[in-house]
Amino acid sequence: MKKNFLFLLTASLIASCSPQSQRADYALSWEGDGIGVAVTLTSPNDTVLFTYASDAGGQTDQMSWLQDLTVSQGEVLVDSATRELTILTDGGQARFSYVIRCTLPEGYGSPGGCLMDVFRPDIDDKMLFSRTENIFVVPRDDDEMPVSVTWTSVPDYPVFCLYNAGHGTERFDGAASDISFSVMAGDPLLTVDTVMVDGNLHYLVTALRKNVEKNKADLKDYFRTFYASISNFWNEEYKAPYSMLVFPFRNNTFDMTGNGFRNGFVSRYDATADTIMNKDRRDLFTHEIGHKWLNNGTIWFAEGFDEMQTGYQFVASGLEDPSYFATYFNAALAGLHKNPYRNAAGKEAEERFWDDNDYTWLLYWRGFSYAFHLTGLYEKETGQPNAWKPMMQAVKPFLDDFSAEKFLDAMAKLMDRKRLEKDYQTYMQEGKDFDFFVEDLPTGCKIVRQNDGTPQLVITDSVAFARHFQ
């Protein structure tokens, strides 16, 4: 016994000297107008690079809300242009702290705008909302680094942390990737309800201002039906909890916006709304849930193919009949046709995604159009009307590490490679208008042009068209 004990002790000493022993422990404290973050970094390395926040949502002044940086062990050098922290350890550790305060500018909450409300921290004694990339500094190159998060003091109201679903502000242990891209929200009216889907526990998080019971019931009904259906489509049983976080804007009457994560989504919406589950919000929730699977790689894939999935899954789940797919797709076709950057090259469109709303939407609708186009090519090649499922099965193995090259290789096993490469070049890289040649379209439909040239999908044979979703 004694010998074994010594062996274990030696093994653990060796482990603590290996590169895997790097870890960070975060202690959060409620400051009334912000969140204090005390970080203890343990590392065998003398220098560790951390990053802070992202430029998502067109954010440019992230360093203005990271305040009161204090270092008690080691050194921390901040490059505010790149939002990179160079941390020099001392005796294998560095200890530093900072406070995240919201720095909402004048005019915050003006109707019609919403990005600011979704990407910026908004923190005081009446509401807490933040993407966690704006709270936690994390290592630049060590997603798997073990982390812990504890709260030493909390606000008066309940707080929900998507990375610690169902456990509020209790201690969390996980990896840097769990906390680096997530959200937390708190509110005096915040409630956490459970929803069971196929025996698995999920969460509905709301802070409803109106018609509480009716809105919760509607949200749960929708989630039970839709989540079961889309999980079944992907042939995977996800036992981990998924959280629907439906959280009002503080003082913005923007209808709704959302962000999808692997383990849940957040939607912010007009707090004065009586009914949460109108069609537009349901469509948004469906898109956000879709990001559980389609969340990586180029924007035309993550957003555009997610839109295709949204239209498809409405019908496949039985929430809508096939004509709804046409309605949904036609909105995208019209949006793309009227977009001032309609023919922007793919590279320009990706680079300028956050520059203005037209650039943001361009790749959603171009990607959706491309996905639809490919379903037609697949059917033409194989005679199989339900093209979407085999296409998604083909990309499933590399969803976590998506690239356009891998995508084209995978599609080339399902359809003609030369045609595939030519179309990718023409429509996605050069940004030319989709031709929608009659012979390439899925069966049971055609594309007609309105007077101003806007393409429109028309169902010509409803039985044949319905087979695309079966």
Q: Which of these segments, 45-53, 264-272, 297-305, 332-340, binds Zn ion (CB under 5 A)?
A: 297-305
Over the window 19 to 58, marking each residue x when it contacts Zn ion by CB under 5 A and - when it does not, the resulting string is ----------------------------------------
Tell which residue, 163, 233, 235, 169, has the closest CA to residue 203.
163
What are the angstrom distances between the C-alpha of 136 and each of 49, 115, 150, 395, 416?
A: 14, 20, 12, 32, 46
Number of Cβ within 10 Å of residue 360's Cβ equals 18
The DSSP secondary-structure symbol of 424 reads I
Comparing CB distances to Zn ion, the nearer of 363 and 391 is 363
Comparing CB distances to Zn ion, the nearer of 132 and 309 is 309
Q: Which of these segments, 1-9, 241-249, 299-307, 387-395, binds Zn ion (CB under 5 A)?
A: 299-307
Q: Which of these segments, 14-22, 131-139, 193-201, 295-303, binds Zn ion (CB under 5 A)?
A: 295-303
Report the b/e string of 327-359 with b at 16+ CB within 10 A. ebbbebbbbbbebebbebebeebeebbbeeeeb
Comparing CB distances to Zn ion, the nearer of 367 and 442 is 367
Q: Which of these segments, 202-210, 298-306, 418-426, 450-458, binds Zn ion (CB under 5 A)?
A: 298-306
Contacts of residue 212, defined as CB under 8 A and 6 or more positions apart, other chains included, come to 206
What are the angstrom distances between the C-alpha of 123 and each of 104, 185, 439?
A: 10, 9, 55
Number of Cβ within 10 Å of residue 323's Cβ equals 13
CB-closest chain residue to Zn ion: 303
- Give me the amino acid identity at 112: G
Comparing CB distances to Zn ion, the nearer of 133 and 303 is 303
Contacts of residue 142, defined as CB under 8 A and 6 or more positions apart, other chains included, come to 22, 176
Comparing CB distances to Zn ion, the nearer of 50 and 227 is 227
Comparing CB distances to Zn ion, the nearer of 258 and 376 is 258
Over the window 246 to 285, marking each residue x when it contacts Zn ion by CB under 5 A and - when it does not, the resulting string is ----------------------------------------
Least distance (Å) between residue 266 CB and Zn ion: 12
Q: Which of these segments, 62-70, 118-126, 150-158, 296-304, binds Zn ion (CB under 5 A)?
A: 296-304
Estimate to the nearest angstrom the gap between the alpha carbon of 20 and the chain centroid: 29
Q: Which residues bind Zn ion (CB under 5 A)?
A: 303
